[in-house]
Structure 1
């Protein structure tokens, strides 16, 4: 039986453990925290085949520069003299071309659709018991014609790709969401999308893995990775040493620093997001993105989550009050009757999404280190793509044919 150490206990790490265990591997997951917080817990819970356009798209750098000096803006890049950040920014700029976006679309669509199917398979298996998994779609709510016309272009491409999408006016919107007052001119409805409650699934997945004999090491940090020739021979933590046959690097935003220990370049930046949960009834029944405010809204199991912002300010968990209030104000702008109180604001949570320069994940085996497989860099699609990434990594390690071509996701790609 082959032994595998998975570094990182987020949705990608645990999904990988799930599929590798099914294939008969001896699996150990190591996480520097207690697997109760971070991006896998504070995300919007979306399953989004509609998100076919990568973050690195034409115009994003210009937007970033424009918003750079406004710490309350939805997309914020903190100016700093950091070599890794400056290199990443240059690679991001080089990746933001129509040709590269066009090339990325089919791969993003395919892996999203597969992941949506795998979420359903996991639920139907009964392994995790019951959990929220709904297919009500995603509403892109807009106030201005400019926002509508921008999203209309995306919607046309989504429809061209064979995914379900419709155009809603104010009246249509009211029929779909009769129990909440929405101040919007209309919406694009991506009917192909689904949603979940991450804080429900993550503990259930963790409990299932523990019950199946998967070793979970929490509050244990990998401090070094030793290699000899083209193989990892030892993973060293602050508590123990491991000599696995295979290593999976799925440490989210911290993956780049760990890759450096093997003299590997893995351009990656942590994109901080925030979320506010409201446990009082909101009347919202369908997930939405408030376009002008760039806020995600999700009716989760027993609460509504308001999530947003993409903040590049380094790997830290500092909460910036102005960014939290931007979410509060954005929500009130679209849902004028929904108030977020002081206690809810003070209970804000944050997490770091690992963002590659081209907005595509890193999924694949290292060409330099033969027993290293990488799964990170999913940006805003980490939750959506967790199961598919885990399945792909299990196929790579078993030597089976992957369910799709993963050339676009190669961790060895050059920017």
Structure 2
């Protein structure tokens, strides 16, 4: 028998969850405080990345972050603040930047991304949707020998875990990108990866879910979550109230403030990323990461997207021009002939990605509340992991065995 489920959050994770819950026969309502046409689900690089098996919290990351702390244009910018929740997160993040964290995370990150990659295809085919979905792989461009050596090591690690990855010669790169000039010394290719145009799939989901019977409430903010005897009994918004059987918390970077109402100390920070859409014919055919600059390049339908940076500076949508300019400058360093217009740089947008201290998502039930399921904290892989997260949550709600072990994503894990 279907349950009455309230999904809080209308990004890729929330809408994917609604999609699979409805397919499983549940009565689903999605509430989101935004207009559901901006944010991380719209400005990301559109990657499907089984290749990204190393979590954000890895050896050396905190040390590098401290070096970059006073450079607001750096690829990783952590703004120091005397905020108790941020200080707890920063302490836990520092502890998590270890080889042990990497070792215990790799398999789970790989598996959820591989499940999700296949679900993108399944969703597209089942519904005859036409959103861009390509499997050209992902190139890692390097301008220095030290970075190339590092990327080759990561590719070898990926190979050990069954992923298609290898160093490619400059001749092979030229065959993949025959029409644009590149200033690099070498590259690694992950054939296991794919890419999309995010706005296309988001529009398909927003248009089709109501037809399927999902109720979507935009510009409706959750104000109060009432709990009794370890169970949510009522969710109040600024426009209505709900008495669901199950609540899915998929509100991205805003999830921690809602979790706090239920006594959950959910360590989560918003990691801001930026995007520039360049509409000129830049002749770029391959998705790529500009490794030294930590920037991403994606040939999307109608434009080339340049994206990147991780800015931990609280919950806000303030666009820092110096960070946008850093992405544009990186693009021109690696692609000397690239054309990005001033108005395209001025039109840059940002989105907040929810980052847990260990770089692993929170997916699953919590002991603190019997009818609450968390689906947040995906860091830079929310887009790539979105459909798989939705399927896994649907399996949990339906009382079915999950498609993979969820223990690495346990919302109650300690840091």
TM-score range, shorter chain: over 0.9
How many pairs does the alignment contain?
414
Q: State the secondary structure of the residue aligned to 1:99.
A: helix
Give the secondary-structure state (helix, strand or coil) at the position aligned to 2:370. coil
Q: Measure, in 2, the Cα distance between the counterparts of 1:180 and 1:170.
A: 13
Q: How far 1:153 moved relative to its partner? A: 1.1
The range that moved more, 90-99 or 166-175, is 166-175
Q: In the TM superposition, what is the alpha-carbon distance from 1:193 to its structure 2 partner?
A: 0.3
| Residue of structure 2 in register with 1:101 after alignment | 102
Secondary structure in structure 2 of the residue aligned to 1:370: strand
1:309-363 Cα deviation digits (max 9, x unpaired): 1000000000111111101100000011112111101110100000000000000
Offset at 1:213?
A: 1.6
- Matched residue, 2:311: 311
Structure 1: runs of 5 or more not aligned: none
Task: Please give the alpha-carbon distance, in whole angstroms, between the structure 1 residues aligned to 2:414 and 2:21.
Answer: 29
Aligned to 2:162: 162
Partner of residue 67, structure 2:
66
- Structure 1 Cα separation of the partners of residues 195 and 292 of structure 2: 22
Contact 2:282 2:339 in 1 (8 A): no
1:176 partnered with 2:173: no
Q: What RMSD over aligned residues (CA atoms) do the two structures have, in Å?
A: 0.7
Matched residue, 1:117: 118
Could you tell me which residue of structure 2 aligns to residue 16 of structure 1? 17
Q: In structure 1, how many angstroms separate the alpha carbons of the residues matched to 2:153 and 2:219?
A: 46
Partner of 1:335: 335
| 2:411 aligned counterpart, secondary structure | coil
Which SS does the other structure have where 1:282 is aligned? coil
CA contact (8 A) 2:164 2:192 kept: yes
Matched ranges for 1:248-287 at <5 A: 248-287=248-287
Output the CA distance in 1 between the equivalents of 2:101 and 2:180: 40
TM-score, normalisation: structure 1: 0.99
**TM-score normalized by structure 2?**
0.99
1:82 maps to: 83
Three-state SS of the structure 2 residue aligned to 1:166 is strand
1:34 is matched with which residue? 35
Distance 1:389 1:406 in 2: 10
Distance 1:166 1:62 in 2: 28
* Alignment partners' CA distance in 1, 2:220 and 2:227: 20
3-state SS in 2 of match to 1:387: helix
Give the deviation of 1:46 after TM superposition: 0.2
Structure 2: gaps spanning 5 or more residues: none
Per-residue CA distance 1:377-414 (angstroms, 9 max, x = gap):
00000000000000000000000000110000000101
Residues 169 and 185 in structure 1, CA contact (< 8 A), matched pair in contact too:
no
Deviation at 1:183?
0.8
User: Which aligned runs of 4 or more in structure 1 are off by greater than 2 angstroms?
Assistant: none
Cα distance in 2 between the residues matched to 1:166 and 1:108: 19
Q: Distance in 1 between matches of 2:56 and 2:100?
A: 14
Deviation (angstroms), 1:122 = 0.5
Q: Confirm or deny: 8 A CA contact 1:48 1:112 kept in the other structure.
A: yes
- Between stretches 334-343 and 400-409, larger displacement belongs to 334-343
Q: CA deviation at 1:169?
A: 2.4
